[in-house]
Amino acid sequence: MSDITPTSSHTFQVDLRGLVDLLSHHLYSSPRVYVRELLQNAVDAITARRAFEPDAPGSVRIATDGQRLTITDPGVGLTVAEVHKLLATIGGSSKRDEEIEGARRDFLGQFGIGLLACFTVASVITVTSRSARERGAAAVRWSARDDGSYTVTELPAAEGPEAGTVVELTARPGEAWLEPGKVAELAREYGSLLPVDITVEGGGRTVRVTDTPPLWERTWPTATARRLALNAYCEATLGFAPLDIIDLDVPLAGIKGAAFVLPHATSPSARPAHRVHLKRMLLTDTADNLVPEWAFFVRCVVDTDALRPTASRESLYDDEALAVARDAVGAQIRDWLARLASADPARLEAFLAVHELGVKALARHDPDLLEAMLPWLRFETTDGRANLVDFARAHRPVYLAATVDEYRQVAQIAAAQGIGVVNGGYTYDAELVQALPRLDPQVKVESLQPGVISATLDALPVETELSLQAFLGAARAHLDAVDVDVVVREFNPVSVPALLLDDREARRERQRAEAEAEADDLWGGILASIKQHAPRAQLVLNHRNPTVRRVSAIGDPELAGTAVESLYGQALLMSHRPLRAADTALLNRSFMNLLEHVTKE
């Protein structure tokens, strides 16, 4: 005979109302997790029973009418003593029992507080259970209220389940969490991949929510059939038709699943949302630490049996094991890219048309992948959109423009002179260009300086240059206010009348001077103290251009200077650089002066 009386009343040694508030508002993101906790307990109970009775039944039945929900499992069950020990002890868990500790890796739960999460939707929880490990054991009923009280009752032999557990919830007034449609939706969301048969009854129909094994683990008649099924799954689950599918299999972390390539470009800083199942139970659909940051072009759906969840079981614990798994997943995505490069260039080009930025991000840190992908990656160069392999063969050295503005101001002239310049102003491009010599020591990469371009421009005959001195004097006087020198050269293409050349030091000095002019006395003095003697920018006029020749022949110094101001404005706009206040004032003045000149009678 048990020394426990048939019916006895007890009280939790905690503030249960406070605990419910803690669970619903701090530990769990939503009351919806109550369905996951019920399924978890049921599946773990079945797993525990099958550890000593392999042929034990394995189906879970949920029934609800909106006010009362029951979930029945044929699992290991509980004895009267276990009910007192486990259900009345916050943090207790049968999964810590020494008899089944060795099989713990097969269980979903880790923290033993899941049942109490049901108080977020229910006012009363009743557990009726009979142990399958002790023959002839009495059934026991544990009934708890959200005021912190509970009762434990031994049932007559004829009452209670044959073996296993029935959990009953009574809904809180006004709550809709136990409605049949909502329960079926949540059960399917959390438990569709669980290795047991789960049904939900209510509202006049019975719904089967499990669909196992996962699609990526099934045997398919053809590769096409498998791909079509995974495409449909991605559309239904993640909301997009994937550009491609990458199989993931990381035995070390117990990970199996698929990475679906996004069909549209996405920002590298966008927060990813990967769907992670833990031992077939949905853990989270917003995991952001499963893949390396560079792999922002995929969304994953995986199942793992080795990675650790956080206390709420709503995300992955970011520990060393997850870091190793993340690197392994990244390696498999990288291998997929390498396979495309070597065996399926058409699919690779379709992928790069959308996600070239992601590949460049990866190639920065992976020399093998960089070497494999360079023939496919495109860069903005003076030869148009080109790959670096062909471009480096045609140009020795390769010049790198550090910013988009630097590239734009010289691109047209450099192309005409046969100078090879790559625009390094876009994300990752400069790093990849600078990595070229590591792959091919014969390639030389140099930083683009204004002297590189000016050295290729043809000087004027001496007599021509002497004849232009008066014109140059007027031009320099007009552009002195914007700290720009004027020279005349001959270069191609003839259609370009003027070229504006300067370097980063000159631009920084002009920005400092402008800030000094606008600052108060204190900051103006500070900025004046860091003044640098940087070379002035140069406006290079193209003497081969007919307009420049006509302007240089103007006899009126004031009108000639105004025309040069207009040429400066065009060159400035062609370089796509922002206009300073002094530049804007000069352009407005030159425009008005030209209008005044042409409207004179």
Q: What's the angle, vertex CA 252, arms to CA 250 and CA 256, rounded to 5?
A: 30
- Is residue 528 pLDDT above 60, yes or no? no
Give CA–CA dist 425/447, Å, rounded. 12
Q: With a threshold of 0.85, does the pTM exceed it?
A: no
CB < 8 Å & 24+ apart, contacts of 555-559: 557/470, 557/473, 557/474, 558/474, 559/597
Which CA distances in Å does 234 have to 10, 88, 210, 241, 274? 50, 43, 17, 6, 12
Identify the DSSP state of 131. -
At residue 529, the pLDDT reads 57
Peptide bond into 557 cis (omega under 30): no
Please give the DSSP secondary-structure letter assigned to residue 46: H
Q: Look at residue 490 and tell me whether its pLDDT is greater than 80.
A: yes
Whether the CB-CB separation of 386 and 377 falls below 8 Å is answered with no
| pLDDT above 60 (res 587) | yes
Residue 503 pLDDT exceeds 70? no
Within a 10 A sphere around the Cβ of 418, how many other Cβ atoms? 12
Residue 94's pLDDT is: 46
pLDDT score of 27: 62
The string of pLDDT tens digits covering residues 226-269 is 999 999 999 999 999 999 999 999 998 899 999 999 999 887 77
- C-alpha angle 506/508/514, rounded to 5°? 105
Instruction: Tell me the C-alpha distance between 362 and 340, whole Å.
Output: 15
Question: Are 75 and 45 a contacting pair, CB within 8 Å?
Answer: yes
Task: Answer whether 492's CB lies under 8 Å from 416's CB.
Answer: yes
Helices 320-343 and 345-363 pack at an angle, to 10 degrees, of 140
- Here the tokens at position 581 are 């206040």
**Least confident piece of the model among 69-78, 133-142, 434-443, 590-599:** 590-599
CB 97 within 8 A of CB 7: no
Tell me which H or E stretch contains 364: none
Which pairing describes strands 122-130 and 140-145: parallel, antiparallel, or unpaired?
antiparallel
Q: What is the DSSP letter of 305?
A: S
Please check whether residue 69 is in contact with residue 63, taking contact to mean a CB–CB distance below 8 angstroms. yes
- Predicted pLDDT at 527: 47
Measured CA to CA, the distance from residue 303 to residue 255 in angstroms comes to 6
Task: Report the Cα 193 to chain-centroid distance in Å.
Answer: 26
Both tokens of residue 286?
A: 């917003």
- Higher pLDDT: 7 or 217? It is 217
Residues of the chain above pLDDT 70, percent: 84
Residues 63 and 206: beta-carbon distance below 8 Å = no
Between 444 and 148, the higher pLDDT residue: 444
Sheet holding 445-447: strands in order across? 384-386, 379-381, 421-423, 398-401, 445-447
Instruction: Give the per-residue pLDDT at 221.
Output: 95
DSSP state of 309: B
| Most trustworthy range by pLDDT among 70-74, 270-274, 374-378 | 70-74
Strand partners, 276: 284, 302
Q: 501 — phi, psi (to 5°)?
A: -120, 130
The 3-state DSSP class for residue 251 equals helix
Q: CA–CA separation, 543 vs 548, rounded Å?
A: 6
| β-strands 484-489, 274-278 pairing | unpaired
Q: Rounded distance, CA 58 to CA 89, Å?
A: 28
In order of start, what are the domains of the chain with their CATH numbers? Answer: 7-208 (3.30.565.10), 215-345 (3.30.230.80), 378-449 (3.40.50.11260), 462-598 (1.20.120.790)
The per-residue pLDDT for 25 is: 54
Q: What is the DSSP string of 155-203?
A: PPTTSS-SSEEEEEEEEPTT--TT-HHHHHHHHHHHHTT-SSEEEEEET
186: its two tokens: 């949540």
Mind listing the pLDDT tens digit for each residue in 307-350?
888 877 778 888 899 999 999 999 999 899 889 888 898 899 89
Rg (CA), the chain: 37
Cβ proximity of 398 and 445 under 8 Å:
yes
| Backbone φ/ψ region at 257: left (φ over 0), alpha (ψ -120 to 50), beta | left
What token pair was written down for 56? Answer: 């034990």
Peptide bond into 441 cis (omega under 30): no
Per-residue pLDDT, 42: 92
Judge contact between 481 and 565, C-beta under 8 A. Answer: no
Find out whether 74 and 58 touch, Cβ atoms under 8 Å: yes
